[in-house]
Structure 1
Amino acid sequence: MHATRLLPTALAAITLCATVSAFAQDNSLERVTVIGSRKSLPAASSTDTLVPVDIYSMSKVTEGGGQFDLAQTLQYLSPSFNSTRQTGADGADLIDSAALRGLGSDQTLVLVNGKRRHTVALVNLFGARNRGSTGTDMNSLPLLAIDNVQVLRDGAAAQYGSDAIAGVINVQLKKKQGCEAVAGYGQYSAGDGKNYLASAYCGIKVGNGTLGLTGEWQDRGRSNRNDPNDELVGPRTIGDTAVTNKTVYLNGEFPLAADNKLYLTAGAQNRDASSGAWARGGVGSDDIPSRNSAAMYPNGFVPFINGKIEDRYFIVGWKSLIAGWDTDLSQTYGSNKMRYNISNTLNASIANKDLLAGGKGISATSFDAGGFGFSQATTNVDVSRFFPNLLGGSNIAFGAEYRKEKYDIGAGEPGSYIDADGVGFGGNAGSQGFPGFQPGDATNKSRNSQAVYADWEANLTSALTLDAALRAEHYSDFGSTTTAKLAGSFKASKEVLLRAAASTGFRAPSLQQLYFSSTFTDFISGKPLDVVLAPNGSKITAAAGVPALKQEKSKNFTVGITVKPSTDTALTVDLYQINIKDRIVLSGRFDEDNYPALGAILQGLGVGQAQFFVNSINTRTRGLDLTASNRMKLGAGQLNTFLALNISSTTVTAINAPAALKGFEDVLLSERERLFIEQGGPRSKATLGFEYSQGAWTGEAKVIHFGSQTQGTFSGPPVPNLHYKPKTSMDLGMSWQATPALKFSVGGNNVFNVKPTRQDPYETDNGFYYDSVQFGLNGASYYARAYYRF
């Protein structure tokens, strides 16, 4: 369906609104919009929403929390949110991925101030989480700039478009007057991972509006949990990536004459990050001359994968009231660029060529390995109006969107990828740790999409509310899709609300999944192997019979109950099921042994295995979300208690092998890769928190329980899978309001130093005693903060 065929839907929405416009009345109340609804009215609590929505104020965690970035903050607040820092996962070490309800990071849509935020340019290829996915870098947003985070735990593609299968996260930035600043320090109990934070926000009056400016500097040191006495783990660096972030954000809204408002958001972050790759052996090991030179690193070495990441974001918009209709015209632009520099390394083929020519066997020790970039420009027109006399009160909304995306890969310097002494001979090609992108990998691709939507929310009776949404979207590269959603709530009593929703959804294949291309080195049970990741439409995927990627399609169902017996107590329970068809995953490794048709091609490339993206599986995710909160007087102070619980289970229900790969389903999706999809995140997560305040003092205790995870092994059966037992940790904190403007906070995270279940490092994904699962592998940490409002 071409863009012109979307016009009738838009015209129908306009006609509908014109028909009922006579019912409109003026509403002069202060109006806000909570994610999941197009209704612009005084915000209700999360127990009154049609679908599950959690609203997290960032003020307390910003002033005195133990986490210094947004991803880790939400990890310990939201029951269905999961973000675990990776180690030994190449580029995935440099950008923390995040996801909802046990699905992939690219199946959660992230908004900022209600506008679509761009994803990162990186594709996660390694690690125990989000393999083959792109996602949004939550940590590119400074905590002090955020007013609240709204987490919509339901499919919402019919309302917001592609990616909103698992849910939507909306980050609402501050635009209040006044200034505040935070200084923080933290480190692990092991003495490393030193974390410094300095951040300031100032909201100044500009005309009749406010412009908020936030600046943040964060310096997180490297941590290392390696065991130098272990033969495999040995001299490696296992732990947090070293990161330095420099971030600036602007956010403002400026009322003008006659119900008009101009608003803008602008942000930039530069990040320098460095992660340790697998170690290479020294004299006496098999790595000489294939991956090392005796003259350069006789005792072996750890290459460092260094990334320079530039993230930019911009929104400008105009809100107005036209003939009683709230209109919002906006332009959003976002970009993410990542460039690799590999240090403390060598090109073994160059060193070996030098040795054969009578030299010492020397190569350069650092290389520009190239990189990639992604940009996204989105134009939105949104129109809505509340009609108090239509069906007991109706909100009608419609709009249109145009989006253009671009993805590019740039080659590295020749030394980062060449095989100087000949294919299959002597030293291996490229920089050890991360071979550079080759000229054949370089690409520059773009696409565009157009969409229209309509949404009608009606209070049919004083107890019954229904919402219906329809969205049609056309992509220039794969075609069109139409999605719909129906949600409703019934107020059974003043205290009890029943709610349910059913929807269809979709996720367009990302440009990164369509066009990413690279040759890299992986380690299988400690042994190196060169692997090519072939882009869709390449010679390799053509030989394998892999068709063009298409959109994933989903069906979402949610049913729940909310109970609010008093203003001090609230409970929500929601059950959900998400069925996804033609889910895009990264295939298993094909080689000349398990798929002879590729043998000659791989041999010519000088690599051992190939893999690619393919619409190859159907999955079903079922789960339960529960939240409960209570506040009460206790002695001379107040006790706040909350419980957040998520239980989920994802199952691969079918493997859809292309015709040419029938019979090779066990290679297309091995048990190990299946477990990454089904149990990349813990099957359950719960947080039980207690906060007691008395006078100037506040104490907090938080118990966090992570359910079990099972991961596959490199060896496969009969070697048993890696089972990570359920683990529980505790965070403790104390704050002192020294003056009305000054607060000091201290505390510890995972204070009992709990670690995941120990495994055989020859079978884990990162070659360590445990993968980056549950709460990670670093152990206990401690922090101190000072907050000042002026």
Structure 2
Amino acid sequence: MSPKFHALMSAVALLGAAQAAQAADPVQSVERVTIVGTRKTLTAASSTDTVVPVDLYDMSRSTESGGQFDLAQTLQYLSPSFNSTRQTGADGADLIDSAALRGLGSDQTLVLVNGKRRHTVALVNLFGARNRGATGTDMNSLPLLAIDTVQVLRDGAAAQYGSDAIAGVINIQLKKRAGCEAVTGFGQYSAGDGKNYLASAYCGVSLAGGMLGITGEWQDRGRSNRGGADFAPRVIGDTAVKNKTLYLNGEFPLSSDAKAYFVAGAQDRDASSVAWARDGSSDIPTRNSAAMYPDGFAPFINGDVADRYLIVGARSVLAGWDVDASQTYGSNRMRYTIAHTLNASIAYKDLLAGGKGVSASSFDAGGFAFKQATTNLDVSRFFPELLGGSNIAFGAEARQERYSITAGEPGSYIDADGVGFGGNAGSQGFPGFQPSDETRRSRRSQALYADWEVTPTSALTLDAALRAEHYSDFGRTTTGKLAASFKAAPGLLLRGAASTGFRAPSLQQLYFSSTFTDFINQQPLDVVLAPNGSKITQAAGVPALKQEKSRNFTLGFTWKPSRSFETTLDLYQIRIKDRIVLSGRFDDSNYPALGAILQSLGVGQAQFFVNSVDTRTQGLDLTAAHRSSMGAGKLNTFLALNLSRTTVTGVNAPAMLKGYEDVLLSERERLFIEQGGPRAKATLGFEYSQGVWSGDVKLIHFGSQTLGTFTGTAGGEPNAYYKPKTSADMSVSWQATPALRLTVGGNNVFNVKPTRQNDLETDNGFLYDSVQFGLNGASYFARAHYRF
């Protein structure tokens, strides 16, 4: 039981902490304290004050006594519009938890750290029930104890922040305050596996007249397995993960009206997922060797993930204008090692030559990397006498991105005994990247923006934003946004917004190339994912990828009739045109023009990325909070609800694929887009405190999901329907001393699991996919938080 670090934290609303810091240090007068979604300096803010919907999550309680040990799962059970479900049997997607807002893809949500763009991961999700064909941001690369608040902007914001902000924006504010604290925790599933160890420490120290916050975290999460003897030697459950993370967040005065700031973070992750099992009889000699695994085996897909992040900048006041110049750098690298495996073609060649019929059992399968450098200049000023009060902001951004794929060792991909003969090529579980997959690609983008927020009357606020961007690989785009709020009565605020948005195709979607093994009805099939511009996409007439375009509308109100009660309600609609999706599988039977090419590659099917779908997402967000006294203690009650429905409104096939729309977007792939996440999600929470004791109960309701099957309804197999489910989390905390807090509790304490399905038809070949809230069942935890 080795120690590890972890945590998560915050202060109720970022502005209160900033004002306290301002009072303590006159240099703080140049600090711009903003809520994501506006560039105006605010003296107070809450979710009922903002022009567009913004949730403000204070992370201190989750840090000290929460039952989740990483950021993605913490937000999963706090924010109804946020969805992140751990995948299983999804290759690389098992290693990094993707996250998304409002039922859209993970690459349609922009993530900021301290208001600066966070890089995405190098991985493209190819399997699993969530975010297929999408990249995203790894929320778990940030240590929880380093986080002060999380702001979730539930509105399109591409005109303010640029590409990816179609569904909304998540801003993670890191803390930098004096004092030290530490957290240790342990958890495991009620089944006895998935042991999770955590140790984390934060220290904020005064340095050079400023403040430096340092956070270190170690986490060791063990593997879980729900397969049992019926699915052996398969392993179906959580990936094994070991994280080592270090983050620094600092601010230092340069003069009486200027300061420098920086963030430096690094995480190294060793993760191991388990691929489909190979049989001990029927898979010999194609995918197994009797000399190596006579009883069958399950390959391990081991990922070495390195994530780096750096922000360097300065803020000052020049001629009355607040000026912020910054440089951000981020990188994410993943390298695969496939263990407990073999190359069946090498083993069979060895057998034919008179040997035992063996190959190496571990291969370096190569990997990929993504790097992003962003330069920002932001200028802002509030004019109190202009039209009742106006905030004018403008700025520029320049960004450079690089993406690369590196081939694995030859044994991970070669077909040693000849194409279509004997053993199959490459390492079983995940064939290595080939030299033909290798790529080094880059692009540049530049942007100019302007934002004007005005309060012509004490009741009315208007905001307008305009942004123009140019990308080196697909051209120009311009987006705009109009938003307004009106105080119709004391405590009642009406608000609405309309905007256009866009998302540039990621370099990962443009250039990812790989040959992999998929299992259809539990039968193996080799598939090539062809990059844009390859022989396969040219033969299919697939044009160059271009940006997705969106139109967003939000209309709602906030109501705060008293200091103890507040509620918000917002309706929204998001239309996306030319959405980039991963196509269905093409082969020589459903598209003969590709037959010869596929045969030459030794694969059975091909798929690719294409701008082929129009979608409409409609939904509702509701929040309510009430504070009251009960007996000698205090009771806080909160409710948050998201209803969301995504519908494919059109399939736009390239000219050469007209008539093949059912292959381009099969029923199964359409349902992954429309119902990759639950259509309803609600959290009802109760927090009671009295003296040194406190308790927490949360009921989390997940709506239904319907996913497709391999056979499909046309073949007589009904879709997989997952019934609505409700999970319950409970915990009790004891403030043992003013510095020490002890907590015990459970997650999903009633051991609720998804609806059972036909395991021959699910994406992961198990009784149910990892949908709604995962498949592991109940878990229990204990943690200690200490301030010193």
**TM-score (norm: length of structure 1):** 0.96
| C-alpha deviation, 1:620, in angstroms | 0.1
In the alignment, which residue of structure 2 is the partner of 1:486? 482
Matches within 5 A, 1:546-565: 546-565=542-561
In structure 2, distance between residues paired with 1:425 and 1:569: 71
- 1:745 equivalent in alignment to 2:743: yes
Letter in 2 for 1:540: I
Match of 2:270 among 240, 259, 272: 272
SS in structure 2 at match of 1:530:
strand
**2: distance between equivalents of 1:374 and 1:71?**
21
Give the Cα separation in 2 of the matches to 1:776 and 1:240: 9
Contact in 1 for aligned 2:30/2:315 (Cα 8 Å): no
Q: Which of 717, 720, 723 pairs up with 1:719?
A: 717
Q: Using the alignment, how far apart are the partners of 2:32 and 2:314 within structure 1?
A: 16
Q: Deviations over 1:559-617 (max 9, x none)?
A: 01100011111100000000000000000000000000000000000000000000000
Measure the CA separation in 2 of the matches of 1:780 and 1:162. 38
Mapped partners of 1:341, 1:31: distance in 2? 46
Paired AA for residue 142 in structure 1: P
Matches within 5 A, 1:700-739: 700-717=696-713, 718-739=716-737
Counterpart in 2 of 1:71?
72
Structure 1: distance between partners of 2:476 and 2:693 = 57
Name the residue aligned to 1:366: 362
Shift of 1:258: 3.0
Q: Return the alpha-carbon distance in structure 2 between the equivalents of residues 502 and 662 of structure 1.
A: 34
Aligned pairs (5 A) from 1:194-343: 194-229=195-230, 233-282=231-280, 285-343=281-339
Residue deviations 1:260-291 (CA, integer Å, cap 9, x gap): 01000000000000001000000xx3200000
Distance between the aligned counterparts of 2:709 and 2:444, measured in 1?
41
Deviation track 1:276-332 (CA, whole Å, cap 9, x = no partner) reads: 1000000xx320000000010000001000000000000000000000000000000
Determine helix, strand or coil for the equivalent of 2:229. coil
Match of 1:758 in 2: 756
Asked whether the equivalents of residues 34 and 43 of structure 1 are also in contact (C-alpha less than 8 Å), the reply is no
Rounded Cα–Cα distance in structure 2 between residues aligned with 1:70 and 1:42: 28
Whether 2:470 is the aligned partner of 1:474: answer yes
Q: Which one of 520, 531, 538 corresponds to residue 542 of structure 1?
A: 538
| Residue 698 of structure 1: aligned partner | 694
Question: In 2, Cα distance between the equivalents of 1:131 and 1:416?
Answer: 25
CA distance in 1, matches of 2:31, 2:376: 23
| C-alpha deviation, 1:468, in angstroms | 0.0
- In structure 1, distance between residues paired with 2:232 and 2:739: 50
- Report the counterpart of residue 191 of structure 2 in structure 1: 190
**What does residue 441 of structure 2 align with?**
445
Amino acid at match of 2:293: Y
5+ residue gaps in structure 2? 1-27
**Equivalents in 2 of 1:454, 1:407: separation in Å?**
30
The structural deviation recorded for 1:30 is: 7.1
- The amino acid that maps onto 2:542 is V
Q: Which residue is equivalent to 1:20? A: none
SS in 2 for 1:687: strand
Q: Which deviates more from structure 2 when the two are superposed, residues 36-45 or residues 732-741? A: 36-45
Question: What's the secondary structure of 1:270's corresponding residue?
Answer: strand
1:129 corresponds to: 130
Aligned letter for 2:779? S
Equivalent of 1:635 in 631, 636, 646 = 631
2:24 aligns to what? none
Whole-Å Cα distance in 1 between the matches of residues 79 and 429 of structure 2? 35
1:676 aligns with 2:672: yes
User: Given residue 244 of structure 1, which amino acid in structure 2 is its aligned partner?
Assistant: K
Which residue number corresponds to residue 460 of structure 1? 456
- Find the aligned partners of 1:453 and 1:155 in 2 and give their Cα distance: 15
Q: Secondary structure at the match of 1:440?
A: helix
Distance 1:438 1:28 in 2: 56
Which of 539, 563, 567 matches 2:563? 567
**Closer/same/farther in 2, CA of residues 401 and 608 from structure 1, 3 Å limit:** same
Structure 1 residue aligned with 2:777: 779
Report the Cα distance in structure 1 between the residues aligned to 2:453 and 2:81, rounded to whole angstroms. 27
Partner in structure 2 of residue 164 of structure 1: 165
- Contact residue 29 and residue 42 of structure 1 kept, 8 A: no
Question: 1:31, CA displacement in angstroms?
Answer: 5.0
Q: Which residue of 2 aligns with 1:10?
A: none
Q: 1:649 matched to which residue of 2?
A: 645
Deviation at 1:257, TM superposition (A): 1.3
Deviation at residue 235 of structure 1 after TM alignment: 1.9
Q: CA deviation at 1:46?
A: 1.1
CA contact (8 A) 1:369 1:437 kept: yes
Q: Residue 491 of structure 2 aligns with which residue?
A: 495
The match for 1:8 is none
Q: Does 2:103 match 1:107?
A: no
CA distance in 1, matches of 2:727, 2:78: 14
Paired residue for 2:14?
Answer: none
The answer to whether the 8 Å contact 2:30/2:316 transfers is no
Work out the CA distance in 1 between the residues paired with 2:239 and 2:460: 51
Alignment match, 1:177: 178
- Give the letter for the 2:275 counterpart: A
CA contact (8 A) 1:35 1:114 kept: yes
In 2, the alpha carbon distance for the partners of 1:30 and 1:515 equals: 41
| 1-structure distance, mates of 2:34, 2:559 | 22
The CA deviation string for residues 490-514 of structure 1, in whole angstroms up to 9 with x for no partner, is: 0011110000000000000000000
Residue 207 of structure 1: how far off its partner (Å): 2.2
Counterpart contact for 2:30–2:257, Cα < 8 Å: no
Task: Decide whether aligned partners of structure 1 residues 629 and 658 sit closer, same or farther in structure 2, where only a CA change above 3 A counts.
Answer: same
Q: Map Cα deviations across residues 85-135 of structure 1 (whole Å, 9 max, x no partner).
A: 000000000000000000000000000000000000000000000000000
SS in 1 for 2:672: helix
Please state whether the residue corresponding to 1:582 is helix, strand or coil: strand
SS in 1 for 2:553: strand
Write out per-residue CA displacement over residues 625-671 of structure 1, whole angstroms, 9 at most, x where no aligned residue. Answer: 00000110110000000001000000000000000000000000000
Deviations 1:194-227 (A, max 9, x none): 0000000000001221000000000000000003
1:506 aligns with 2:507: no
TM-score (norm 2): 0.96
Maintained 8 Å contact 1:32/1:43? no
**Equivalent residue letter for 2:224:** S
| Equivalent residue, structure 2, for 1:357 | 353
CA distance in 2, matches of 1:558, 1:514: 32
Q: Which residue of 2 aligns with 1:607?
A: 603
2:588 alignment partner in structure 1: 592
1:412-460 deviation per Cα after TM superposition (whole angstroms, max 9, x unaligned):
0000000000000000000000000000000000000000000000001
Q: What is the one-letter code of the residue matched to 1:349?
A: S
Write the distance in 1 (CA, Å) between the matches of 2:160 and 2:552: 13
- Write out the 4+ residue segments of structure 1 that deviate beyond 2 Å after TM superposition: 27-31
Q: Which residue of 1 aligns with 2:424?
A: 428
Whether 1:378 and 2:379 are equivalent positions in the alignment is no
Question: Equivalent pairs: percent with the same residue?
Answer: 80
CA contact (8 A) 1:305 1:341 kept: yes
Offset of residue 43 of structure 1:
3.2
Q: 2: CA distance between counterparts of 1:746 and 1:182?
A: 13
Letter in 1 for 2:435: P
Corresponding letter in the other structure for 1:238: I
Distance 2:382 2:69 in 1: 40
- Structure 1 residue ranges without an equivalent (≥5): 1-26
Alpha-carbon contact 1:30-1:41 (below 8 Å) kept:
no
C-alpha distance in structure 2 between counterparts of 1:506 and 1:258, whole Å: 40
* Letter aligned with residue 450 of structure 2: A
2: CA distance between counterparts of 1:695 and 1:267?
38
In structure 1, the residue matched to 2:19 is none
